[in-house]
A = this chain, B = another copy of it.
Amino acid sequence: MTMKTLSRLLQGLDSFATPRTAHAHCDLPCGVYDPAQARIEAESVKACMEKHNASTDDVFRARAVTIKEQRAELVKHHLWVLWTDYFKPAHADSHPGLHELFWKATKAAGQAKQTNDVAVADDLLNQIGEIDRIFWETKKS
């Protein structure tokens, strides 16, 4: 465990984007969380949009819309879990925009179901990026 802790510290020093140990969730709580879960699904949402827009095959396009719907739902779920389960009152105090950020990000995921406009997916990814930044900041402190 010492090596892992050390590696975390070094990672913290050398990059914003180091391949981080990923963290998940359960309501035990097991204490394992990671915004990567939401981001991965959001990237899938974006890819579905791109593939939809590049295709002229009706069946393929219908499947892209349906699958995007499912992945966007997963984005919402992972974000909701982070918001309710990981973040504590002290975090909300030090990050006054936290609730608004999650509200907008989950709304963006809902919007991503309704459109194939890649800009919506990019906006969603940016908001998840902001959540990710705050998340790791709170993990450090």
Mark A residues whose CB is within 8 Å of B.
Answer: 1-32, 34-37, 39-41, 43-44, 47-48, 51, 59-60, 62-67, 69-73, 76, 80, 83-85, 92, 99-100, 103, 106-107, 110, 113-114, 116, 122, 125-126, 129, 132, 136
Known: A14-B12, A22-B43. A59 touches B67 (CB 8 A): no
The reply to whether B22 and A19 form a contact with Cβ atoms under 8 Å apart is no
24 contacts between A and B (CB under 8 A): A5-B7, A7-B9, A7-B21, A8-B21, A10-B13, A11-B19, A16-B17, A16-B20, A17-B21, A19-B36, A21-B43, A24-B40, A24-B41, A27-B69, A28-B60, A28-B64, A31-B51, A32-B44, A37-B40, A62-B62, A63-B113, A66-B66, A76-B80, A83-B103
The reply to whether A40 and B17 form a contact with Cβ atoms under 8 Å apart is no
Q: In the docked arrangement, what's the CA distance between A4 and B6, Å?
A: 9
Residues of chain B with a CB closer than 8 A to A19's CB: 8, 11-12, 15-17, 20, 35-36, 39, 129, 132, 136
Residues of chain B with a CB closer than 8 A to A84's CB: 76, 80, 103, 106-107, 110
